[in-house]
Amino acid sequence: MLNTFSIAFYNLENLFDTKRNKYILDKSYTAGGDLEWNQDRYARKIQNLSNVISKIGIKNSKLPPIFIGVSEVENKACLSDLINSEKLLPFKYDFVHYNSPDERGIDVAFLYQKKYFDLIYSNTYTLYLTDGKNNRDYTRDILLVSGKLFNEQIYIIINHWPSRSKGIGFSDHKRVKAANLVREIIIDIHKENKNPKIIIMGDFNDQPSNNSIKNHLMTDAFFNPMFVLQQQNRGSVNYRGKWYLFDQIILSKLFLNNVPNKIKFKDIDIFDAHFIQEKTGKRKGSPKRTYIGKWHQGGFSDHFPVLAYFQKIIKL
């Protein structure tokens, strides 16, 4: 019997196939592009990512994550290759994915083990942004998934918020608007369920203590277990020698209830296993990424995955 299990979020760092798509900015990730992206490099990327996902959570659980939110994936073909890879195929994952209007064509998605999670529905919400000249600033949609986890309905909101391009102050309003959109999604959820269990996960490009998360996303109905990890100076991404906890899993306080035959939050962690770290040099200990500049080093991602453990409360 599976009593302890994990869920996770992982920024896959530019999981592109090798085909040119004229509707998005993916030329670099083709054989003729400046990154010389080819089938061998793509296959290695799939193999590396599947190896990571297959090991997430197994320290305290018999299985890799029951479900995992991901970001920076180009299309359904990439997701199909990922879940059908040698390491993940035994777990019979399925996925939810929608193409979003992001100019680079990188989307969020949801992978789940069909044995334990029953999909009910999914939907996307578009984040409308404009630049200083009132032109549309295209970015990733936010994904909502609802399903039954061990026969208990839950809601998962998967995010990849706008980056800190040109600085945190210049871009803060974009992530505040994303936070407000998530609040609107939560209102929609409450229209169908008065006491919903909600999980908000993603790459927020902000930390738990930043304005968009602390002052605009969080309410009394939620708790952010990542805040403790931030206080411990742990992070999921390293920029110029400093750790940032951009990747987070935020939970309804209902997950704290010790109710028989329900699921309860147990612990939070960052999957920073040694094999996905840089081994030497000034980046030692940081996530081993696929490229450094235009040099292909064949790593995994520039982010560590984050995960949460849950326990099934069994009535004796």
**Residue ranges of the domains in the chain?**
4-310
CA distances from 55 to 73, 158, 267 (A): 20, 21, 17
CA distances from 166 to 107, 162, 256, 288 (A): 22, 11, 39, 25
Residue 192 has pLDDT above 90, yes or no: yes
pLDDT digits (tens, 9 = 90+) for 86-133: 999 999 999 999 999 999 999 999 999 999 999 999 999 999 998 878
What percentage of the chain exceeds 90 in pLDDT? 90
pLDDT confidence tier of residue 10, bands split at 50, 70 and 90: very high
Rounded CA separation 94/75 (Å): 14
Rounded CA separation 33/44 (Å): 18
Cβ atoms of 174 and 129 closer than 8 Å:
yes
- Check residue 63 and give its pLDDT: 96
pLDDT digits (tens, 9 = 90+) for 29-75: 999 999 999 999 999 999 999 999 999 999 999 999 999 999 999 99
Residue 316 has pLDDT above 60, yes or no: no
Per the CATH hierarchy, to which homologous superfamily does domain 4-310 belong?
Answer: Endonuclease/exonuclease/phosphatase (3.60.10.10)
- Check residue 1 and give its pLDDT: 59
Mean pLDDT of 156-165: 95
CA dihedral 226, 232, 234, 240 (to 10 degrees): 130
Rounded CA separation 101/141 (Å): 7
Kindly report the backbone phi and psi dihedral angles of residue 143, in degrees, each rounded to the nearest multiple of 5, phi listed first. -105, 130
